[in-house]
Structure 1
Amino acid sequence: MFIFQAAAPGTSIIRRDLGAEPLPQTEALYAVALASPATLAAPPMGSLNLSEALIREVEAADVIVIGTPMHNLTIPSVLKAWIDQILRVGRTMKSTPSGKVGMLRDRPVYIGVASGGFFTGERANQPDFLTPYLSLALSSIGLKTQQFLTLQGPPHWIGARHR
């Protein structure tokens, strides 16, 4: 984060640590609000407040940085809870006969992925469901300029023998 501030003095950063402050999973009222065009037009009071606040954070950002571990070959549940709140038909995407169309302005998204195993390259020894899922989820709302940065496998010193 400090690199961004050094490159662009005066930059403000919004930090959302989903590990320290996890978002709640979507609730029944949220599902009711999204159930039909009628309930989307007049959602139950308070049902979309969190979703709207998170979408506004994304809309206000010039750059988005996501740091995530790979949990069981995919994203952790706390990141999925965030995605469930920002992917909203009629607000951040629309469904068309040819697929989802994003309604948000594109901007750079940097995604750092840490894994104890290898999931890309010659040493890949596990499947990767995280990258295609996250890429599709973000693209479906209009965030198509994505850069994945990976940190894979155990550090070289783990398991080394000391002489």
Structure 2
Amino acid sequence: MKKILHITASARGEESASYLLSQQAIARLREQHPEVRVVVRDLHAEPLPHVDNLYANTLGRKQGGTPHAQGRSSLAWSDLLIEELKAADALVIATPMHNFTVPSSLKAWLDHVVRIGVTFNSTSAGKIGTLPDRPVYIAISRGGARDRQPDFLEPYLRAILPTIGLKDLRFID
């Protein structure tokens, strides 16, 4: 293993419980692979734009679109994020549960990396992921007792990540 992509989605940053859990997973991976490099994508510190018209038009095979205010279209962000993901041998996601599901920052990242014709293909048999499988460690923090609130976060991730080929999901609570 050469590279771990570490996605963090908490507004609490390094103080969040999900971040601390993810650090434990990374430490275990480093014990097994001391030479591994960790690439961090902090979705709160560097928020991603939502999908824009260039991205949508490209998927719809239309031309045109304008760059995001940060000077990069969401299509360019998508390309960058997909390349980061492709280059990783393992993925570690640190996320809180917000309002029973994924925080908007993680949803924006997923919207960029789950891309038809790039990370999955739509076939008569359904959506088929194009990325090679690799371990995905998902560190989740939840407010309150797990059995006393609805949880759409874990089932959503169990559905969306295999869509792009990531099936080796390991949840850490």
Q: Which bin holds the TM-score, normalised by the shorter protein?
A: 0.7 to 0.9
Which residue among 156, 166, 172 is the counterpart of 1:143? 166
Q: Which residue in the other structure is 2:130 paired with?
A: 103
Q: Quick one: percent identity of the two aligned structures?
A: 48
2:27 & 2:140 partners in 1: Cα distance?
19
SS in 1 for 2:40: coil
Paired residue type of 1:78: S
1:110 & 1:9 partners in 2: Cα distance?
18
Q: Which residue in the other structure is 1:157 paired with?
A: none
- Computing the radius of gyration over CA atoms, which structure comes out larger, 1 or 2? 1
Paired residue type of 1:86: V
Which residue among 26, 34, 39 is the counterpart of 1:9? 34
2:53–2:65: 8 Å Cα contact kept in structure 1?
no
Paired residue type of 1:138: L
1:116, CA displacement in angstroms?
A: 0.8
**Count of residue correspondences:** 142
1:17 & 1:2 partners in 2: Cα distance?
18
1:44, CA displacement in angstroms?
A: 5.8
1:87, CA displacement in angstroms?
A: 0.5
1:43, CA displacement in angstroms?
A: 7.4
**2:80 matched to 1:57?**
no
Unaligned runs of 5+ in 2: 1-25, 67-71
1:3, CA displacement in angstroms?
A: 3.8
1:54 & 1:71 partners in 2: Cα distance?
23
Q: Which runs of 4+ in 1 moved over 2 A?
A: 1-7, 42-48
Residues 8-157 of structure 1: matches in 2 within 5 Å?
Answer: 8-36=33-61, 39=62, 47=73, 48-119=75-146, 124-150=147-173
1:137, CA displacement in angstroms?
A: 0.9
2:115 & 2:88 partners in 1: Cα distance?
18
Alignment RMSD? 1.8
1:117 & 1:75 partners in 2: Cα distance?
16
Q: TM-score with structure 1 length normalisation?
A: 0.80
| 1:63-120, Cα deviation, whole Å (9 max, x unpaired) | 100010000000000000000000110000011122110000000000011001223x
2:28 & 2:36 partners in 1: Cα distance?
10
2:96–2:103: 8 Å Cα contact kept in structure 1?
yes
1:21 & 1:53 partners in 2: Cα distance?
14
1:109 & 1:3 partners in 2: Cα distance?
13
